[in-house]
């Protein structure tokens, strides 16, 4: 059954004011186009969950979409601070809930596996445990040391960008896998954005590369260049210049507003955004191919 | 040869890595230290990145911890849950690199907040992977410029555990890793003594004990014998400048 629809329709149908949204991807495959569409549709009071909020949530917070963030590393990766989020937390304007990376993805793993809680070994760094009441300790029923436990995270919607998917949502992902699979299984609804929609035969030619099954997917959207300024392995490079420039731009509210007006409200969709970036940026982000050696599944 | 404070720290941190170590690499200066070690005395260094990359051989300097160059040509890519559970928690990581805004007398690190947690004076990025790296990597190294404000007697917030309040507390908490083994600064190197307190064990050429004491927020002790580090050599500096960081981003 085809689940193909436009990204606009998918956001309209599956993201509601007040929802908990998990836009997945650890540095790689961050679905910026979906974040921009949420901003354009004026969604409010969202709880934005991501291990690394990255620029996508900095922009969504700047646009007034969020009530709360859930995170484990509040930085602009390799650059410095996420200035908008940081200011909103320092001033008390934004609620937040904080974990370590392992805590954050363990919550997703518990959600994905249908568990009531998930154990982790102690780290002796107790201040975060004391600050976030979701961290608890339980005794080991087999007599070992107490373990630290966290409850599952079940986002209302996970948005997962992939290299290629079929119309049902079976998705191939390669490169950094982050928490893509766990976020999809943990969420109540799943929106897949794909660089390419491909025939079922292509997915079935390499089933070990399929991370997400179609039956947990609600919508499949063809969105080439969805990740910019993040990247899609093998398709286009990370726009590090953008990440560096955002550090300066986000110091100034007027410049942030101007960015939102020009690059988010001022464009209709990702295609227009990509065209507006222009040839120099396209050329800068081009990657040379590096093919893997083919595998032989055998014809049985 | 002339060299910068960063180059001095990178070279000295690189020399702490042993051939065959499995190292959890962070971005920035630790990334340079690991790649330098692999190109000099530790060709069998296995580099793991928290994004889920094992055996990375980056062809360019990665700006972020999730750069695509880490993946192309690596030996294995897995999920983040796998990297933190199967690799780190299970005990398959020899070395972790850590950093933070504050490091205290017992090697505890604050990367979370200056001031109260709920009403922060400065909100920092937070743990990322460092809470678990500090607990479970066999040995941890810290690289940081030597400034008084970075070395208080006690951290405002303990993002990742060193020796907590002193040696013995790590074992009591059941942590498998041995904790911070060296803090490499631009003045020298501090290592834990028998009680878990960081003391001066090495100074870079031309640096005096008093300089290090003056730039530390607790009454810093010195080891009975203090080593003077070898300055960065021509080959190390050439690899750093020509191969690893040709744009001089971390010079």
In this structure, are residues B124 and B82 in contact, taking their beta carbons and an 8 Å threshold? Answer: no
Verify that A174 and A83 share a domain, yes or no.
yes
Q: Looking at the complex, does the CB of residue A26 fall below 8 Å from at least one CB of chain B? A: yes
Does residue A286 belong to any structural domain of this protein? no
Q: Looking at residue A78, what is its pLDDT?
A: 84
Q: Looking at residue B28, what is its pLDDT?
A: 84
Verify that A144 and A165 share a domain, yes or no.
no
* A170-181 confidence digits (pLDDT tens): 999 999 999 999
Verify that A189 and A78 share a domain, yes or no.
yes
What residues of B are in contact with residue A172 (Cβ under 8 Å)?
A: none
CA distances from residue B157 to A130, B168, B202, B217 in whole angstroms, order as listed: 11, 20, 28, 16
Question: Using the 8-state DSSP alphabet, how is residue A231 labeled?
Answer: B
Q: Looking at residue B240, what is its pLDDT?
A: 96
* B112-124 confidence digits (pLDDT tens): 999 999 889 999 9
Judge: A177–B122 Cβ closer than 8 Å, yes or no: no
Question: What integer is the mean pLDDT of A224-237?
Answer: 98
Q: Looking at the complex, does the CB of residue A57 fall below 8 Å from at least one CB of chain B? A: no
Residue window 255-274, chain A: list those with CB within 8 Å of chain B.
none
Nearest to A25 by CA among A282, A239, A226, A286: A226
Does residue A299 belong to any structural domain of this protein? no
Distance CA B147, CA B103 (A): 10
For A294, counting Cβ atoms within 10 Å of its Cβ (0-12 exposed, 13-18 middle, 19+ buried), the class is exposed
SS3 string, B155-218, reads: CCCCCECCCCCCCCHHHHCCCCCCCEEEEECCCEEEEECCCCCEEEEEECCCCCHHHHHHCCCC
Q: Looking at residue B63, what is its pLDDT?
A: 87
B159 has pLDDT over 90: yes
B22-25 and B95-98 strand pairing: parallel
Distance from CA of B206 to the nearest CA of A (A): 32
Does residue B251 belong to any structural domain of this protein? no
Distance CA A183, CA A110 (A): 10
Verify that A110 and A250 share a domain, yes or no.
yes
Verify that A61 and A137 share a domain, yes or no.
no
For A209, counting Cβ atoms within 10 Å of its Cβ (0-12 exposed, 13-18 middle, 19+ buried), the class is middle
In this structure, are residues B116 and A79 in contact, taking their beta carbons and an 8 Å threshold? Answer: no
Poorest-pLDDT segment among A8-12, A265-269, B55-59, B166-170: B166-170
Judge: A238–B67 Cβ closer than 8 Å, yes or no: yes
User: Beta-carbon neighbour count of residue A47 at 10 Å?
Assistant: 19
* B17-48 confidence digits (pLDDT tens): 999 999 999 878 999 999 999 999 999 999 99
Cα Rg of chain A, angstroms:
20
Judge: B72–A290 Cβ closer than 8 Å, yes or no: yes
Q: Enumerate residues 6+ apart whose C-beta is below 8 A from A267.
A: A273, A276
Does residue A279 belong to any structural domain of this protein? no
- For B58-69, the DSSP string reads -SS--SSTT-GG
Buried b (16+ CB within 10 A) or exposed e, B130-166: bbbbbbbbbbbbbbbebeeebbbeebbbbbbbbbbee
Distance CA B21, CA B46 (A): 6
> Is B153 a known active-site residue?
no
Poorest-pLDDT segment among A248-252, A274-278, B57-61, B155-159: B57-61
Distance CA B206, CA A210 (A): 58
Verify that A262 and A248 share a domain, yes or no.
yes
The mean of the pLDDT values for chain A is: 97
What is the ipTM, given to two decimal places?
0.97
Percent of chain A with pLDDT over 90: 98
The mean of the pLDDT values for chain B is: 95
Verify that A211 and A105 share a domain, yes or no.
yes
Q: Looking at residue A238, what is its pLDDT?
A: 98
In this structure, are residues B106 and A76 in contact, taking their beta carbons and an 8 Å threshold? Answer: no
Judge: B127–A26 Cβ closer than 8 Å, yes or no: no
SS3 string, A157-217, reads: EEEEEEEEECCCCCEECCCCCCCHHHHHHHCCEEEEEEEEECCHHHHHCCHHHEEECHHHC
Q: Looking at the complex, does the CB of residue A74 fall below 8 Å from at least one CB of chain B? A: yes
Q: Enumerate residues 6+ apart whose C-beta is below 8 A from A87.
A: none
A194 has pLDDT over 90: yes
Does residue A281 belong to any structural domain of this protein? no
Verify that A183 and A126 share a domain, yes or no.
no
Question: Using the 8-state DSSP alphabet, how is residue A293 labeled?
Answer: P
Judge: A73–B128 Cβ closer than 8 Å, yes or no: yes
Domain count along chain A: 2
Does residue B103 belong to any structural domain of this protein? yes
Distance CA B25, CA B65 (A): 9
At B99, is the pLDDT very low, low, confident or very high (cuts 50, 70, 90)?
Answer: confident
Does residue A254 belong to any structural domain of this protein? yes
Distance CA A128, CA A118 (A): 17
Q: Enumerate residues 6+ apart whose C-beta is below 8 A from B171.
A: none
Distance from CA of A77 to the nearest CA of B (A): 5
Element (H, E) at A107: helix A101-113
Verify that A78 and A158 share a domain, yes or no.
yes
What residues of B are in contact with residue A125 (Cβ under 8 Å)?
A: 108, 127, 131, 134-135, 158-161
Verify that A222 and A265 share a domain, yes or no.
yes
Nearest to B42 by CA among B33, B50, B51: B33
B100 has pLDDT over 90: no
A189 has pLDDT over 90: yes
Does residue A278 belong to any structural domain of this protein? no
Q: Looking at residue B167, what is its pLDDT?
A: 79
Domain count along chain B: 1
B188-192 and B180-184 strand pairing: antiparallel
Judge: A77–B50 Cβ closer than 8 Å, yes or no: no
User: Strand, coil or helix: what is A97?
Assistant: strand
* A11-47 confidence digits (pLDDT tens): 999 999 999 999 999 999 999 999 999 999 999 999 9
Q: Let me know how long chain A is.
A: 300
For A86, counting Cβ atoms within 10 Å of its Cβ (0-12 exposed, 13-18 middle, 19+ buried), the class is buried
A227 has pLDDT over 90: yes
Q: What is the residue range of B144's domain? A: 5-244
A136-138 and A46-49 strand pairing: unpaired
Question: pTM score, two decimals?
Answer: 0.96
> What CATH number corresponds to the domain at position B231?
3.40.1080.10
Question: What integer is the mean pLDDT of A97-103?
Answer: 98
What residues of A are in contact with residue B129 (Cβ under 8 Å)?
A: 73, 100-102
Q: How far is the first Cα of chain A from the last one, in angstroms, to the nearest whole number?
A: 27
Q: Looking at residue A5, what is its pLDDT?
A: 98
Q: What is the residue range of A138's domain? A: 117-150
* B215-232 confidence digits (pLDDT tens): 999 999 999 999 999 999
Long-range (24+ apart) CB contacts under 8 A made by A236-240 are: A236/A285, A236/A286, A236/A287, A237/A284, A237/A285, A237/A286, A237/A287, A237/B68, A238/A27, A238/B63, A238/B64, A238/B67, A238/B68, A239/A281, A239/A284, A239/A285, A240/A78, A240/B63, A240/B64
B1 has pLDDT over 90: no
Does residue B250 belong to any structural domain of this protein? no
Does residue B249 belong to any structural domain of this protein? no
Verify that A167 and A255 share a domain, yes or no.
yes
At A97, is the pLDDT very low, low, confident or very high (cuts 50, 70, 90)?
Answer: very high
Distance CA A200, CA A181 (A): 20
Q: Looking at residue B168, what is its pLDDT?
A: 87
Verify that A67 and A163 share a domain, yes or no.
yes
> What CATH number corresponds to the domain at position A192?
3.40.1080.10
Does residue A211 belong to any structural domain of this protein? yes
């Amino acid at each position: 059954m085809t689940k193909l629809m436009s990204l606009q329709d998918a956001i309209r149908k599956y993201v509601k004011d007040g929802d908990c949204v998990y836009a997945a991807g650890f540095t790689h495959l961050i679905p910026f186009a979906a974040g921009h569409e949420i901003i354009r549709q004026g969604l409010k009071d969202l709880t934005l969950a991501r291990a690394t909020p990255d620029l996508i949530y900095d922009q969504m917070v700047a646009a007034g979409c969020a009530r709360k963030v859930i995170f484990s590393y509040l930085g602009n990766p390799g650059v410095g601070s996420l200035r908008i989020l940081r200011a909103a937390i320092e001033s008390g304007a934004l609620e937040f809930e904080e974990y370590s990376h392992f805590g954050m993805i363990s919550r997703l793993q518990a959600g994905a596996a249908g568990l009531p809680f998930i154990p982790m070994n102690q780290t002796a760094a107790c201040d975060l445990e004391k600050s976030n009441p979701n961290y608890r300790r339980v005794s080991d029923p087999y007599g070992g040391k107490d373990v630290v436990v966290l409850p599952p995270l079940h986002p209302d919607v996970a948005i997962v960008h992939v290299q290629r998917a079929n119309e049902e949502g079976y998705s191939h992902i390669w490169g950094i896998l982050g928490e893509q699979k766990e976020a999809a299984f943990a969420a109540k609804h799943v929106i897949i954005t794909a660089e390419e929609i491909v025939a079922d035969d292509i997915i079935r030619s390499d089933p070990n590369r399929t991370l997400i099954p179609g039956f947990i997917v609600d919508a499949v959207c063809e969105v080439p260049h969805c990740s910019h300024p993040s990247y899609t392995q093998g398709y286009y490079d990370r726009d590090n210049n953008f990440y560096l420039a955002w550090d300066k731009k986000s110091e100034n509210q007027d410049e942030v507003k101007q960015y939102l007006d020009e690059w988010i409200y001022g464009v209709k969709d990702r295609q227009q955004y990509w065209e507006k970036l222009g040839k120099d940026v396209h050329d800068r982000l081009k990657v040379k191919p590096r093919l893997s050696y083919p595998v032989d599944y055998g014809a049985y | 040869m002339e060299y910068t404070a960063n180059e001095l720290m990178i070279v000295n941190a690189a020399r702490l890595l042993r051939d065959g170590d499995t190292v959890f690499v962070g971005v920035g200066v630790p990334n340079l230290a690991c790649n330098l070690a692999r190109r000099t005395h530790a060709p069998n260094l296995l580099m793991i990145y928290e994004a889920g990359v094992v055996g990375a051989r980056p062809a360019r300097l990665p700006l972020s911890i999730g750069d695509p160059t880490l993946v192309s040509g690596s030996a294995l890519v897995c999920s983040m849950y796998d990297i933190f559970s199967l690799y780190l928690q299970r005990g398959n990581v020899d070395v972790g690199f850590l950093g933070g805004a504050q490091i205290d007398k017992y090697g505890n690190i604050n990367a979370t907040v200056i001031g109260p947690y709920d009403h922060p004076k400065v909100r920092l990025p937070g743990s990322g992977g460092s809470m678990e790296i500090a607990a479970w990597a066999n040995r941890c190294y810290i690289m940081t410029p030597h400034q008084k404000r970075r070395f208080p007697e006690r951290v405002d917030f303990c993002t990742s555990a060193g020796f907590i309040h002193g040696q013995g507390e790590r074992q009591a908490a059941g942590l498998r890793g041995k904790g911070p083994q060296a803090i490499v600064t631009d003045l020298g190197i501090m290592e834990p003594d028998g009680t878990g307190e960081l003391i001066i064990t090495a100074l870079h050429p031309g640096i005096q004990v008093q300089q290090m004491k003056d730039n530390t927020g607790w009454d810093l002790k010195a080891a009975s014998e203090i080593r003077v580090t070898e300055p960065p050599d021509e080959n190390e500096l050439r690899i750093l400048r020509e191969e690893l960081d040709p744009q001089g981003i971390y010079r």
